[in-house]
Amino acid sequence: MNDRAPRMTPASLVAALVRPEIRTLSAYEVAKAEDMVKLDAMENPYSLPEDAKARLGAALARVPINRYPDGGAEAVRASLRGTLGIGDAWAVLLGNGSDELIQIITATLARPGAVMLAPEPSFVMYRMNALYSGMRYVGVALRSDFSLDITAMLSAIERERPSLVYLAYPNNPTGNLFDERGMVAILKAAPGLVVVDEAYYAFAEASFLPRLYEFANLLVLRTLSKLGMAGLRLGYAVAAPEWIAEFNKMRQPYNVNALTQAAIVALLSDQGWIAEQASAIRAERARLVAALGRLPGVKAFPTQTNFVVARVADAPRVFNGLKERRILVKNLHGWHPLLEHCLRITIGTPAENDRLIAACAELCQ
């Protein structure tokens, strides 16, 4: 050993080698929710019906896990195409959750100097992925009622010429559906790709999927996560084959594992349960919004998702009070000035929602 060699420690190496913008980040922490009513992550609260469970078990038992998965996940794509009526004019790309697709799309378009634009507040992973891939991120504030500020969006598009625009439709964390005419104006004005992220489409009354043929720069992004399959991790993107062919080059060859592929095909072969659960969630949503809106000092915002944003007098106090009562929601206070004293509450089962309403009634007197 050479005594005079500078002493290398993992910390000194990290300080010298890791990109500074990554060093200043903290890793995404998932809140612990054991034994709690879990209303923080927009999950579907219902488990699988027994017949779907049986189909799933039989399908998984047949998977040859000694082999790599089908890299193209043909059966899954065929089943999604059939379900959604996606015509041959469009191509489908699958991801390990739509999170992975956001990463792939962003990295593919991150030419030096390229800009990503999104309204704010919106899904935080857009901005995070701009940072990961070295894209310059431009956020445009929503109005105080969470609607798109179209004038500001159009002038930012004109000024920044973004390669990539993300529009969550409906939006997370605000829950509302943006005005369709505003969306179309953005699609027409944008010189780059516009990703319409329809993670919550099952709870909304609108979609841009049928409008793909109108816009060469439109990609529709979706996920099975909010439909009761968050644990499987499957997202999909639908766009013109020219776009998908490029994104496909960035994809890991086996990004969707064999168990997930088999599970999805089995579960989508009879989808009655998916529609039933989504409609139960929509009915509970109406009840929860009405009940929260009746509490003194509480404003429940309109929602077309499986969660509701409520503004209370003191969000940290209500958040902690709920936690003490073993109910976990998301405290949005401090995320963005527009979200002052807001909580994001995922729609649970009727019993869970009853517990939440009773606890909020105690805490918001």
Cα(91)–Cα(97) distance, integer angstroms:
17
> What one-character DSSP code corresponds to residue 205?
S
Q: Which residues of 13-28 are buried (b: 16+ CB within 10 A; e: fewer)?
A: eeeeeeeeeeeeeeee
Tell me if 129 contacts ligand PMP by CB under 6 A: no
| All residues at 6 or more sequence positions from 140 whose CB lies less than 8 Å from its CB, including other chains | 117, 118, 119, 120, 149, 152, 153, 156
Tell me if 197 contacts ligand PMP by CB under 6 A: yes
Q: How far is the CB of 172 from ligand PMP (least distance, A)?
A: 4
> Which residue of 45, 69, 97, 175 would you call a contact of ligand PMP, by CB under 6 A?
97
Q: How far is the CB of 29 from ligand PMP (least distance, A)?
A: 15
> Which residue of 79, 106, 133, 223 would you call a contact of ligand PMP, by CB under 6 A?
223
Choice between 99 and 284, CB closer to ligand PMP: 99
Choice between 48 and 230, CB closer to ligand PMP: 230
Q: Treating both helix axes as pointing N-terminal to C-terminal, what angle do 315-324 and 350-363 enclose, rounded to 10 degrees? A: 130
Tell me if 98 contacts ligand PMP by CB under 6 A: yes
Residue 167 contacts residue 195 (beta carbons within 8 Å) = yes
SS3 at position 33: coil
Residue 137 contacts residue 131 (beta carbons within 8 Å) = yes
Q: How far is the CB of 166 from ligand PMP (least distance, A)?
A: 9
> Which residue of 235, 277, 282, 333 would you call a contact of ligand PMP, by CB under 6 A?
235
Tell me if 174 contacts ligand PMP by CB under 6 A: no
Q: How far is the CB of 337 from ligand PMP (least distance, A)?
A: 20
List interacting residues with ligand PMP (CB under 6 A): 42, 97-99, 123, 168, 172, 197, 199, 223, 225, 230, 235
